[in-house]
Amino acid sequence: MLAPIPLLDQLRARIDESISALPLDAAEGLASLVLDLPVIPAVAPEIPNHRFALMHGRNNELRAGYGIAAEWQAQGPTRLSELRMRAQRLAEGWHHWDPDETGFTGFGLLGLAADPGPGSDSDPGVEGPGNSGQGLPNAVLWVPEIAVASRGCQAALILSTALPASESGLRKRWLGLLERIIRGLSPASPEPRMPALLRPLGSAPGISHWRRLVDAVLREIDRGVMDKAVLCRRIGLRGPRPFDLRLLQAALAWLFPTCQVIHVARGPSSFIAATPERLLQVRGGRVEVDAIAGTAARSASAEQDRALAEGLLRSAKDLREHALVVEAVRSTLSVCCTEVHIPDAPRLLKLHNAQHLWSPISARLGDRTDIFDLAERIHPTPATNGTPREAVRDWLRQNEPLARGWYTGVAGILGPDLSGELWVLLRCAEVRGNEARLYAGAGIVSGSDALEEWRETGHKLSAIATALRFA
* Range list of H helices, 354-388: 371-378
Q: In this structure, what is the dihedral angle of CA atoms 136, 42, 292, 222, given to the nearest 10 degrees?
A: -40
E-assigned strands of 239-342? Answer: 260-266, 269-275, 278-283, 286-297, 337-341
E-assigned strands of 193-285? Answer: 199-204, 228-238, 260-266, 269-275, 278-283
Burial pattern 381-404, b for ≥16 Cβ within 10 A else e, equals bbbbbbbeeeebbebbbebbbbbb
Residue 293 DSSP label: E
**Of 386, 381, 341, residue with least CA distance to 362:** 341
Q: How far is CA 332 from the centre of its chain?
A: 22
Phi then psi for 333, rounded to 5 degrees? -65, -30
The amino acid that residue 373 corresponds to is: D
For residue 269, CA distances in Å to 133, 161, 434 come to 9, 26, 11
**Of 415, 416, 411, 14, residue with least CA distance to 178:** 14
List, in sequence order, every residue forming a beta bridge with 341; answer none if it has no partner: 362
Which entry of 46, 127, 145, 277 is annotated as an active-site residue?
Answer: 277
Check residue 247 and give left, alpha or beta (phi > 0: left; psi -120 to 50: alpha): alpha
The amino acid that residue 468 corresponds to is: L
Residue 209 DSSP label: H
CA-CA distance, 313 to 346, in Å (whole number)? Answer: 8
| Residues in Cβ contact with 464 at an 8 Å cutoff, skipping those fewer than 6 apart | 252, 272, 274, 427, 428, 429, 436, 438
R_g over Cα of the chain: 22
Which entry of 46, 127, 145, 228 is annotated as an active-site residue?
Answer: 228
| 15: enclosing H helix or E strand | helix 4-18
For residue 374, CA distances in Å to 328, 340, 366 come to 13, 14, 10
CA-CA distance, 79 to 375, in Å (whole number)? Answer: 11
Residue pair 30/111 in contact (Cβ under 8 Å)? The answer is no
228 is an active site residue = yes
Dihedral of CA 216/219/221/223: which sign? negative
350 is an active site residue = no
Please list the active-site residues: 228, 277
